[in-house]
Chain A
Amino acid sequence: MLSFVLKRVAYAAPVALGVSLVCFLLVHLAPGDPLSAILPVDATAEMQAQMRAAYGFDKPLPVQYGLWLWKVLHGDLGTSIATGRPVAAEVGRAVTNSLILAAVATLIGFTFGTFFGFVAGYARDSWLDRLASAVAVFGVSVPHYWLGIVLVIVFSATLGWLPPTGAGPQGSGDWWPDAEHLRYLVLPAITMSVIPMGVISRTVRALVGDILHQDFVQALRAKGLSEFGVFRHVVKNAAPTAIAIMGLQLGYLLGGSILIETVFAWPGTGFLLNAAIFQRDLPLLQGTILVLAMFFVTLNLLVDVVQTALDPRIQRA
């Protein structure tokens, strides 16, 4: 197992390097001037050149990449052009907020998705299956941006039950799991949870249906094992794949929630990415994308390790 983990970590290193190069190049190849956010609209050519030199944008791209990577390896993601604040601090705070939101959304999605998946898998082709499948298809296909707005209109604007924007009440400081802060989490978390719910539900339904038709289940039943005992075996067999899917979903939610975080003004990575793109803040954009990409790489590694621990056949394969 240890050698497997070491091997996986060794594989992850070049992937991480490649990811850093791609995210550096992608950001630099996009159109527009990175300094336009802070340069006044009628800045002179002299001032533009001066600012470009101050931020190192006058150097050749490979040199810029080298310098950036060197700093990154020393824990310095640079300074935001738009705000002058350290990118690492900005991203750190945003990642914390996004993790909270993504974790709660994944938990809700995983709970309901697994439930619907098992119901549909056990009751294949019944009306329960069709209902559960309909919910899953809704979760995967509904425009989440639209769903967020609908929830805001109903629960915030019309009923006034829940706050529509932000991560907490004014002056409350950083996020804290108290009742007031939890109220702010409800709508974005529900909106976001429909994505993993749909995906996990569809996966679990297929897995359960498949497992139930396998020979060992028939054998277990023939041996007189109770239906609950059979269920436990089904869960055990479905768990590695379901966990892999959940891990990936957590990664997607962490980075792919720009629209939802923007709708709810949730101060996470999606909101930060939106601001960075809007302000064309290259260091912030690069730093955020890099951290998210590294999170993906780490998550993949963790999922592989956990999956292998749960099902040693994967390692052998």
Chain B
Amino acid sequence: MRPWSFRSPILGLVLAAVLALPAAAQGVLRIGMTASDIPLTTGQADNGGEGMRFMGYTAYDALINWDLGSADKASELTPGLATAWKTDPDDTRKWIFTLREGVTFHDGSPFDADAVVWNLDKLLKNDSPQFDPRQSAQGRTRIPSVASYRAVDPKTVEIVTKTPDATFPFQIAWILMSSPANWEKQGRSWDAVAKAPSGTGPWKITTFVPRERAELTPNKAYWDKARVPKLDKLVLIPLPEANARVAALRSGQVDWIEAPAPDALASLKAAGFRIVTNLYPHNWTWHLSRVEGSPWNDIRVRKAANLAVDREGLKEFLGGLAVPAEGFMTPGHPWFGTPAFKVKYDPEQAKVLLKEAGYGPNKPVTTKILISASGSGQMQPLPMNEFIQQNLAEVGIKVDFEVVEWNTLINIWRAGAKSESARGATGMNYSYLIQDPFTAFIRHAQCNLAPPNGTNWGSYCDPEMDKLFDQVRTTFDPAAQTAVLRKIHEKFVDDALFLMVTHDVNPRAMSPKVKGFVQAQSWFQNFSSISMDK
């Protein structure tokens, strides 16, 4: 009996471990991204929203994060590495952030106020040793309001904005915190950090093979216990070609693909794959020029165009993967409000409006629109634009397109409708992220943000709208701020500022083995709740 009395506790432990294995092992999730490379792993990710989704908010946190736990409502800001933030009552330019206690980076070093200052220097202070032009290029314009910052004490950071700016929490939610100690450990080289990165997020980047694969494993010590990942591993694979992504999913090489080719959806569904979609803050639109001579300076023409588009038909054309626009924000969004102008399909009313504006069958409105053949968030620009061209022709708006390469379109967008590079176009097709007040409204419509000072491409300027922007910046109470944003959206729609066409639904196809995914109404997603069926 003696040997047993010695061995039984060990045997018991082994047995317990073996029995516990099935519960602990939640599998590996392999995702085929649309990016052609692994997004920057050092903190401030590139590759737009997809980069932040997979390589940003997975391995890193911001002071303020996005709440990604619900599929039923638009995502809102939630405490991240800061537990609270407020402005100084005597000077609303001063923001005080109270940092979370006990947070450590993946490399074990503590997160504190000095780390926040170090990270802001990384993006904003060109002569700081840790300044990284690549991350700066991604992060700097996200925080245009920042004037200065300092560590008040190890758990308090003060950030001062150039002018009072109540939209600042949305801005700072873009800025991700990487570990200063790790940067030192990697010989002060960001290239070395890219291979061995360290954030505070729910996932640790453990393997990184450029252009091929990144592997992330759970950070079991993550400060938000509800978001400690269930999976054993998350594998990210760049698969830029839509058909290759579908093939990879069908053959079981990956379990999840972003943006499946629309014509493959029916066969994927028939083969038992799930297509997951949800509303998300994205608007596929024609940004209209308000430069002198543009036909879009007449509100009747703008409204007529908005009434001429058969959005339901377009949705059908896109295999149901679209939400017809009723405004600039998605229907039901807290900022939607109650615009008086109803964005709908009413070609007869469109013809009446055009007639009032002095146009008719013998004198059509003529416009030249710049479009791209592809591009991030552009959905299927060529057939979609041709569909709209046909719709508009039916009411008396003659559209000529000039197709330019996506990056060229971005440069024309930066340069503005007045610049020569716009080639005399009076509109451009562009898809916009509409997740925060600045990117959704202000950058497109504030008078002093017309190029070269900003990206108000069409040089739209309305003192009333500017007054509302000032209000949103000086309204620090969230509920009151939402009320102002509603007014902005109502004016946006009532003035028919853009040709508002449709919202993408960010489709992703996945194996039925993928369990527990909740698609947030956001460009970003939470992967912690996911597990894999055996």
Interface residues of A (CB under 8 A from B): 31-33, 36-45, 47, 50-51, 54, 82-85, 90, 149, 152-153, 156-157, 160, 162-167, 170-171, 173, 262-265, 267, 271-272, 274-275, 278-280
Contacts and interface: CB of A to CB of B under 8 A. Distances in A.
Contacts, number: 133
A45 B138 CA distance: 15
Contacts of A47: 137, 140-141
Interface string B135-173: 001101110000000000000000000000000000000
Contact of A82 (B46, B141, B215, B252): B46
Contact of A42 (B207, B210, B454): B454
Contact of B210 (A39, A85, A160): A85
Given A84-B191, A279-B36, 6 more contacts: A31-B405, A83-B210, A156-B247, A156-B253, A163-B253, A263-B243
A90 B210 contact: yes
A267 B244 contact: no
Contacts of A50: 126
Contact of A36 (B40, B237, B238, B407): B407
B36 A263 contact: no
Contact of B414 (A41, A164, A166, A267): A41
Contacts of A83: 37, 40, 210
A40 B253 contact: no
Contact of B405 (A32, A156, A165, A265): A32
Contact of B141 (A40, A84, A160): A40
24 contacts: A31-B405, A32-B411, A38-B134, A38-B138, A39-B137, A40-B142, A42-B454, A43-B141, A43-B414, A51-B133, A83-B210, A152-B243, A152-B247, A156-B251, A163-B251, A164-B247, A164-B250, A166-B237, A170-B215, A173-B209, A263-B241, A274-B240, A275-B37, A275-B240
B273 to A, nearest CB: 11
Contact of B253 (A38, A41, A166, A272): A166
Contacts of B253: 156, 163-166
A37 to B, nearest CB: 7
Contacts of B443: 42
- Shortest beta-carbon contacts, A-B, top 8: A157-B250, A164-B247, A156-B251, A275-B36, A36-B407, A32-B407, A42-B455, A152-B247
Nearest to A152: B247
B410 interface: yes
B440 interface: no
Categorize the interface residue count of chain B.
35 or more
Nearest to A158: B250
Interface centre among B36, B190, B239, B250 (most CB of A within 10 A): B36
B191 A85 contact: yes
Interface in B399-446: 404-405, 407-408, 410-411, 413-414, 443
Contacts of A280: 407
Contacts of B244: 152, 164-165, 262-265
Contacts of B37: 82-83, 275, 279
Nearest to A156: B251
Interface in B22-54: 30, 36-37, 40, 46
B410 A36 contact: yes
Contacts of A149: 243, 247
A95 B180 CA distance: 36
Contacts of B194: 84
